[in-house]
Amino acid sequence: MVQIWGPTTGETLAVREGAGWNSMVAWSPDGTRLASTVESDEGNRIEIWEVQTGKRERLLGEFLGEIGDVSWSPDGLSLAACSWGGEVQVYAVATGEGGVIYTFDNNPGFAYAVDWSFDGAFLAASGDFGMVVVFQRHDWNPLLLLSPQRARVNDLAWLPRRYSLAAGDGNDICIWNVGTGETEAIYQGHTKTVFSVAASPDGHYLASGSGWDQTVHVWDLTTAQHLATFEGYSSQFHALAWSSDSTCLAFATEDDAITVMRVIE
């Protein structure tokens, strides 16, 4: 199931029973719809549903493996997803038209994360063997291929209002200038593999979480300085999300809990 909570009260506002196992969710930019991945005996697909009515709008895609990530374009017209079958797929939300734009051809070739640039002009995807691919939206041709030379890139995030991309690189976080392909900064602080990264909406901060060292770090994107570490948790971190005002951070952990912390006063 997919649940929606009021972040200040913890009250459950809505529950949506899906057609199978849901592992990823993503809000549409206007907040009226949710996309959730559905994995069942009938296959791996993406379910779009209306938040107010709870009505399922449509099912999208057919994926060869477990869906690793799903991301709305900033204009809300397209939905990108990637799978552990190595595929990157993009669909028009209104019509359901679309399909595979790229396949990581390494073996096993898992694809872990997708994210749109702030203006929707580019899409980035990451996979095994340290591969990050950036696509141009108008033709889906690969524009840039980046390789941190590590085992895999578990997560990536475009920085707001910049053509720069942050990605987990082993225990570190690399920030690349997509225009030049050059490394802008490397953030070091985790002792084990980075599982998730998230840039604050105002573009001032970056959060990173490790599934194995059980810490979340917050960085200042202007000065590249480390600001805070959240630790003392007994479970792995698997997802991070900033509040829209860039003051609070939500952590999802493997012990079935979501914690909301005020990071910036």
CATH number at 72 reads 2.130.10.10
pLDDT tier, 242 (very low <50, low <70, confident <90, very high otherwise): very high
166 touches 197 (CB < 8 A):
yes
Tell me the mean pLDDT in the region 155-160: 96
* Residue 80 pLDDT: 98
Distance (Å) of CA 45 to CA 7, 31, 156:
28, 21, 22
| CA dist., res. 183 & res. 81, Å (int) | 26
Q: Is residue 120 part of a domain?
A: yes
For the chain, the domain total comes to 1
What pLDDT is attached to residue 108?
Answer: 61
User: Across residues 16-25, what is the average pLDDT?
Assistant: 74
Out of 58-62, 83-87, 147-151, 159-163, which region has the weakest mean confidence (pLDDT)?
A: 147-151
Average pLDDT of every residue of the chain: 89
30 assigned to some structural domain: no
Domain that holds residue 169: 66-262
User: Is residue 211 in a domain?
Assistant: yes
For the chain, give the percent of residues with pLDDT over 90: 58
The SS3 call for residue 228 is strand
Does 29 reside within a domain?
no
In a domain, 60, yes or no: no
pLDDT for position 148: 55
Q: Please tell me the predicted confidence (pLDDT) of residue 212.
A: 84
**pLDDT band (50, 70, 90) for residue 107:** low
Q: How confident is the model at residue 204 (pLDDT cuts 50, 70, 90)?
A: very high
Residue 233 has pLDDT above 70, yes or no: yes
In the predicted model, what is the mean pLDDT of residues 79-83? 96
Q: Identify whether 192 is part of a domain.
A: yes
Evaluate whether residue 107 is within a structural domain: yes
Whether residue 16 lies inside any domain: the answer is: no
C-alpha separations of 42 from 19, 61, 113, 244 in Å: 9, 12, 23, 36
The answer to whether residue 124 scores a pLDDT higher than 90 is yes
